[in-house]
Amino acid sequence: MAEPTQLVLTVANAVGVPIAATADVLVRRGAEWSHNHPGLSLPSTIPLPAGFIQVTIDATAADHGEERLTLTYFADQGRWEASNPSCTIDTQDSLVNVTVPLGRIRFAPVVMLSDDLRVPATASAVQPFQPGAVLVTQQGYRTINLDVEERVRVLSAKAIGDPNSPGWDRFRWNEQRVKLSDRGNWLVLEYGDMTGQLGALRHVVGVWAPHTYTGDAPPVVVQITPNTRLPYYPSDRLPYTGAYPYGCVAAPGAAVDKATSTVALRDCRQAYVELPANRSLGQYKVVYQLYAARPDIFDGPHGPIVITPSPPLIAGVGPLRSPFDHPEGLGRLVAEVLRFLVAHKLTLPNAVGGLSVRFKGSTAYLSGTRPASPAIGVPTKTLTTLLCHSAGVVPVMSLANNLANRATFPRGFPRALWGGKNDYCDANWTNLWVVDGVASPGGIGVPSAGSPAARTWKTWLGRRGRRAVLVYTPSGLGGPIAPELISGITAPPAGKAGNIEEGASQNVRWLRMSYTYLRADPSQNPADLRPAFGGLSDTAEQSHNKIYEFGVGYAARP
């Protein structure tokens, strides 16, 4: 193999499009000698003198984060290692082409405040307390504890058991114990404007980042949540005023000190930050459901990447879903997250070891070590699953329709910064999981015969290799499932637990149950088991939410 004598340096964005950038480059041989090349306009060609060992690159580009990386060349083996493995290295004889991807995602700023801090009792969705950053403790993100081992039961792919059972035997199920602390990290990230200004256009995103995954295509689950709404989420406007994304609201029933008209910070919710965490790790335990459903592939440090945007509630408009209701926009988010995870060695394919997120003051940092890595680049192939619940079905339907119609990119979001051609939510989008998908007005998302939802899903399923799982209660569908999606429903006679039906075709699986099927006497809930049945007096809305605790693991079954 010819010794490299020249390096061509290019900078690209997360979806691989070259962008204008500058770089400082230092070529050296240990402490013996170094050649400095400051302020290069890229792309640029850098000479590599004989005997060089390392190339350090500091790259910057407008509207993107900076990156520093060091490339080490082992002449006796003719190979390279990279401190930032998201770059790519292509060697052609003595010419080395290096591409460094820059991103628009960063750790969200953090702040440590005492839970005893008194904040105005008026902290509400109208006038939230604004700490200006994510609340953390010495142990980690507030409300997050990955050290707890959970007992998780997951419905079988053929889920119907005995409809007369007072408890779990109404289903078929398996049980797994899941502990996450040694499997990966929970991250709160900001995606968008990198200036850090209060009104900057950005989205807060929660990410479960496993230490590793099997194969070359990472499994990615993008979770689209129900609508953010008053009074649970403070409304904001564009440009933001600070209510989004870090505003805190007093929890219902918070104790008010009448002398000072204040409440303790511990009694406040940081609503937008806690939304992805509650869905992924808290009440609904989506990440736990995924590990419990697929122990065959999610074992030890191997796991799924779970991405959950937290949409701001814009006063007079509603939740801001753009640009994630467009395939390019949501795909760019996936690409940005992947680039961030690989660049920081948080998630690497078939790797050993792992890093841990720690906090010191207002800084997030990574502790631990991982073995040296070659340059692997940002994965371009993924196994993408879109997961939605309740009104989250609306932006997912928009996504599918925009994919079919090749819609124009959303206004207000420059395509070069928020989009760009990619396959993450196009050709790579192979799984759709809809759990009680329904929204007002008019029952948007109801998969009845001839409905817009049925037409949308049938069109999406037209590409080979795609599959859908739909899990419903009467909230989402009162009549029969659209025959264009599935036929041949199995429905045993109603029992003491209520009604249940299931069916499967080549690419669709269906499960629906009555509200009562999700309710039981408290004595039927084994200690420390997730999920628990709802109470016998639960409302329809409570059961509509409860199905998400059962439905995700079922959907993940092979």
Per-residue pLDDT tens over the stretch 227-241:
999 999 999 999 999
Angle at 499 between CA 493 and CA 504, to 5 degrees: 90
Amino acid 362: pLDDT: 84
Residue 250 has pLDDT above 80, yes or no: yes
| Alpha helices (H) in 27-82, listed in sequence order | none
Q: Provide the CB-side half-sphere exposure for 527 (13 A, CA).
A: 0
Mean pLDDT, residues 437-450 taken together: 93
Can you tell me the mean pLDDT for 473-497? 95
Partnered with residue 134 across adjacent β-strands are 110
- 276, pLDDT greater than 90: yes
Greater confidence (126 vs 464) lies with 464
Give percent of the chain above pLDDT 70. 100
Q: What is the mean pLDDT of residues 160-183?
A: 98
Per the model's pLDDT, the better-predicted residue between 165 and 405 turns out to be 165
370 within 8 A of 353, measured Cβ to Cβ: yes
**Which is nearest to 456 in space by CA: 442, 475, 437, 472?**
437
410-424 per-residue burial string, b: 16 or more CB within 10 A, e: under 16: beebebebbbbebbb
Pick the closest to residue 508 from 486, 479, 481, 539 (CA basis).
486
Q: Percentage of residues in the chain with pLDDT exceeding 90?
A: 93
Q: What is the pLDDT of residues 80-127, one digit of tens each?
A: 999 999 999 999 999 999 999 999 999 999 999 999 999 998 777 788
pTM: 0.97
The predicted pLDDT at position 476 comes to 94
Q: Taking 90 as the threshold, does the pLDDT of residue 201 lie above it?
A: yes
**Comparing C-alpha atoms, which of 160, 266, 221 is closest to residue 501?**
160
* pLDDT at position 308: 98
Mean pLDDT of the chain: 96
Predicted pLDDT at 327: 96
SS (H, E, C) 94-145: CEEEEEEECCCEEECCEEECCCCCEEECCCCCCCCECCCCEEEECCEECCCC
What is the Cα 199 distance to its own chain's centre? Answer: 23
DSSP 300-339: TTB--EEEEEE--EETTTEE--TTTTSHHHHHHHHHHHHH
pLDDT tens digits, one per residue of 137-170 = 988 999 999 999 999 999 999 999 999 999 999 9
The single residue listed with the structure tokens 């809809």 is 434
Tokens 């669709």 found at:
508
Query: Which amino acid is present at 56?
Result: T
Measured CA distances, 332 to 16, 209, 378, 423, 424 (Å) = 10, 17, 12, 9, 8
Residue 361's pLDDT is 83
Q: In whole angstroms, give the CA distance from residue 35 to residue 55.
A: 10
The rounded distance, in Å, linking the Cα atoms of 510 and 436 is: 11
Determine how β-strand 219-224 pairs with β-strand 134-137. Answer: unpaired
Mean pLDDT of 44-61: 98
> Residues 491-539: pLDDT tens digits?
999 999 999 999 999 899 999 999 999 999 999 999 999 999 999 999 9
- Token readout for 372 is 């040296």
| Span of 37-46, 62-71, 249-258, 273-282 with lowest mean pLDDT | 249-258
pLDDT at 264 over 90: yes
pLDDT at 177: 98
Residue 138's pLDDT is 85
CA distance linking residue 377 with residue 16, whole number of Å: 10
| Residue 407: band (very low, low, confident or very high) from pLDDT cuts 50, 70, 90 | confident
Kindly write down the DSSP assignment for every residue of 350-362, as one continuous string.
T-----EEEEETT
Domain annotation for the chain: domains and CATH numbers: 6-103 (2.60.40), 149-190+200-237+270-475+498-513 (no CATH)
Q: By the 8 A CB rule, do 356 and 368 touch?
A: yes
What is the rounded CA–CA span in Å between residue 404 and residue 330?
Answer: 15
